[in-house]
């Protein structure tokens, strides 16, 4: 089949329409070979719309045809409708816009789906909200049961601080409380007592972290930095069965489909999560394609790390399958910007928000240079994409250095697409070095929206010049993908972090943090075409699948979505509110709104 799409390059993007479409189809080939017409008819045709192909030319067509799970034609209505037969499902788009199925480059689906299994967790924007939740849980739990809150980041509270040990004591004196934000936490007095953390306690396990103390008494003040592992919690929620986990995961994938997602990357997969994905796949309940980066604990010794990498490489899921593919390795290189532990090239600065008192403090890096190099090289040697959680510019530079060293060892990393996860704080130098080696990156636009105000207060405008520098990365030719780092709750906008990709696209266009006026370095904003590529073909490239999906071209998987508004012409502020009318996965309808 040959399809020719032409356009006038001088026409503006928002008014591009298909000018000519010549379709020589497999149908005609079958006629010439003596096969019946019906054998090559399309199963599904969407016509009368604006099909944004996201091909190399960003061409726009009127119609698209699908047979099986693949696209067989894209072009003008008349040409594509010629493929219709008696059994073809024809959908009149009535002028609506079609995009390739969207891809999220970073989720933690199996954990996120179970977050509210025991009970709903309200949104929390203030310390008062946190304390009210703790008090409400204390009223329904037996005395002595743990109250645990995860990932309510202090940078996302209007108060911009942790709840104190004593505030938690007041609302839950008879319950141990853990307020956890990744590796950092705030706990109350009973939690400290049960964990054996007192005035004389010292960290002796050789792992990172420190315990904040009252400067006058030396007593722990309840804030634990990068050592939440020291808290000895016990379970207090009802136990989930395997069927519960499958049902919740299926429900989450249905919501991913609702916001236009047809593929996701699990950036921290375990044996248990892979088993859940496989079970859904076997039962034909898997409605998102899943790329897995296998979680590897970089704090283990090298022998254990290499065994785990080899386990991933020898897994049957390492063989390509467009529904479930184990193709990556994920480690943690530094802390987080939400917890004040991202590893920076320059000191963080004394901070009340982050409880930083040392003017030379630069954050935490977890993997020494030599060990990082060896882990990354071993993963690449085993045909596994390596990525590392790298938030601060110090960590980003350290990871690039490791990839460069591997490349100098007569082991070309070009084409192997080593990745940087998060990659929030960058530099012009880092971008140039990434481009040279085809290093890719997985970024989360929602963090700019959610945390921009706090970061501006902490670092000032100049230090944020290369915070999520989308335009600089695109212009340099570095391939980056958009993701969410979805960790808790089901719901595209209510989740931690929000996974609605249209919200993500809007953030890259407007760069407007919440709770503040104006934009954060608007010169780093994207065009609409670039924003769409961020969640389609770019993410397909991140997972080595740009020839399979990410654009609407003949031969590719028929993953596509129909929008309620035209993303190319709607006012910028309305991009975030676009909804998806239909979602197709391999030509199969997996989401449709009620008419």
Q: For residue 159, what pLDDT is reported? A: 87
pLDDT of 254 reads 98
User: For residue 176, what are the β-bridge partners?
Assistant: none
- Dihedral sign, Cα of residue 226, residue 231, residue 235, residue 241: positive
pLDDT in the model for residue 22? 34
- Answering whether pTM is above 0.85, one says yes
Exposed, middle or buried: residue 517 (CB in 10 Å: 0-12, 13-18, 19+)? exposed
What residue ranges do the domains of the chain occupy? 2-95, 120-230, 240-588
What contacts 246, CB < 8 A, 6 or more positions away? 276, 279, 280, 285
Catalogue the E-assigned strands of 306-367.
324-332
Tally of CB atoms within 10 A around 511: 24
Res 437: pLDDT: 97
Q: pLDDT tens, 263-307?
A: 999 999 999 999 999 999 999 999 999 999 999 999 999 999 999
- pLDDT number for residue 15: 37
pLDDT for res 239: 86
pLDDT in tens, 546-571: 999 999 999 999 999 999 999 999 99
What's the rounded Cα separation, in Å, for the pair 387 and 333? 9
Rounded to an integer, what distance in angstroms lies between the CA atom of residue 377 and that of residue 371?
10
Peptide bond into 191 cis (omega under 30): no
Tokens of 407: 């490349």
Which pLDDT score is estimated for 38? 38
Q: What's the confidence (pLDDT) of residue 243?
A: 97
DSSP label at 351?
Answer: B
Give the whole-angstrom CA distance, residue 153 versus residue 125: 9
What's the confidence (pLDDT) of residue 103?
99
Residue reference for tokens 């007593």: 219
CATH T-level topology, domain 120-230:
Diaminopimelate Epimerase; Chain A, domain 1 (3.10.310)
- Dist. CA 146–CA 408, nearest whole Å: 51
| CATH number, domain 2-95 | 2.30.40.10
Burial class (CB in 10 A: 0-12, 13-18, 19+), 333: buried
d(CA 558, CA 67): 9
Check residue 235 and give its pLDDT.
76
Residues of the chain with pLDDT under 70: 1-39, 236-237, 594-595
Cα–Cα distance measured from residue 175 to residue 441, given in angstroms and rounded to the nearest whole number: 42
pLDDT of residue 507: 98
What was the pLDDT predicted at 156?
87
Q: Phi first, then psi: what are they for 486, rounded to 5°? A: -60, 125
Residue 313 is predicted with a pLDDT of 98
Q: At residue 70, what are phi and psi to the nearest 5 degrees?
A: -120, 155
| Strand 289-295, strand 324-332: pairing | parallel
CATH code: domain 240-588 is 3.20.20.140
Tokens of 13: 């993007």
């Amino acid at each position: 089949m040959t399809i020719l799409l032409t356009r006038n390059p001088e026409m503006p993007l928002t008014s591009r329409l298909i000018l000519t479409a010549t379709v020589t189809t497999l149908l005609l080939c079958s006629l010439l070979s003596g096969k019946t017409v019906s054998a090559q008819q399309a199963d599904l045709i969407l016509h009368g719309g604006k099909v944004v192909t996201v091909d190399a030319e960003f061409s726009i067509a009127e119609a698209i045809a699908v047979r099986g799970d693949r696209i067989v034609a894209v072009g003008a209505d008349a040409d594509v409708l010629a493929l219709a037969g008696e059994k073809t499902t024809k959908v009149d788009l009535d002028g609506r816009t079609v995009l390739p199925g969207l891809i999220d480059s970073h989720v933690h689906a199996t954990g996120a789906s179970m977050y509210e299994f025991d009970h709903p967790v309200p949104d929390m924007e203030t310390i008062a909200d946190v304390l009210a939740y703790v008090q409400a849980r204390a009223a329904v739990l037996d005395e002595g049961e743990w109250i645990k809150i995860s990932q309510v980041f202090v940078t996302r509270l209007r108060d911009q601080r942790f709840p104190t040990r004593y505030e938690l004591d007041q609302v839950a004196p008879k319950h141990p409380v853990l307020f956890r934000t990744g590796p950092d936490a705030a706990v109350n007095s009973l939690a400290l007592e049960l964990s054996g953390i007192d005035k004389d306690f010292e960290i002796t396990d050789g792992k990172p972290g420190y315990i904040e103390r009252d400067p006058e008494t030396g007593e722990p003040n309840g804030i634990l930095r990068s050592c939440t592992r020291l808290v000895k919690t016990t379970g207090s929620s009802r136990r989930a069965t395997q069927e519960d986990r499958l049902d919740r995961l299926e429900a989450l994938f249905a919501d991913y489909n609702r916001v236009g997602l047809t593929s996701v990357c699990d950036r921290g997969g375990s044996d248990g999560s892979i088993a859940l994905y496989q079970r859904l796949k076997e039962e034909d309940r898997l409605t998102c394609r899943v790329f897995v980066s296998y979680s590897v604990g970089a704090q283990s010794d090298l022998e254990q790390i290499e065994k785990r990498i080899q386990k991933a490489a020898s897994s049957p899921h390492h063989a390509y399958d467009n529904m479930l593919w184990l193709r990556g390795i994920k480690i943690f290189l530094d802390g987080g910007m939400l917890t004040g532990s991202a590893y920076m090239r320059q000191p963080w600065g004394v901070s009340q928000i982050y409880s930083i008192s040392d003017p030379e403090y630069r954050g935490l890096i977890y993997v020494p240079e030599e060990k990082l190099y060896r882990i990354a090289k071993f993963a690449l040697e085993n045909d596994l994409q390596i990525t590392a959680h790298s938030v601060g510019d110090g960590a980003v530079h350290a990871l690039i250095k490791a990839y460069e060293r591997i490349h100098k060892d007569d082991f070309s990393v070009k084409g192997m697409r080593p990745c940087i996860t998060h990659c929030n704080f960058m530099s012009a130098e880092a971008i140039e070095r990434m481009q040279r080696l085809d290093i890719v990156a997985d970024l989360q636009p929602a963090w700019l929206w959610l945390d921009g105000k706090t970061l501006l207060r902490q670092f000032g405008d100049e230090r944020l010049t290369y915070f999520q520098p989308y335009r600089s990365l695109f212009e340099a030719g570095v391939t980056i993908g958009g993701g969410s780092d979805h960790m808790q709750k089901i719901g595209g906008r209510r989740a931690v972090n929000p996974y609605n990709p249209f919200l993500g696209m809007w953030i890259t266009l407007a760069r407007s943090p919440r709770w503040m006026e104006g934009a954060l370095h608007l010169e780093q904003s994207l065009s609409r075409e670039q924003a769409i590529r961020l969640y389609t073909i770019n993410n397909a490239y991140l997972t080595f699948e740009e020839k399979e999906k990410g654009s609407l071209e003949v031969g590719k998987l028929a993953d596509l979505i129909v929008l309620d508004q035209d993303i190319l012409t709607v006012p910028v502020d309305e991009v975030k509110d676009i909804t998806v009318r239909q979602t197709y996965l391999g030509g199969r309808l997996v989401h449709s709104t009620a008419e």
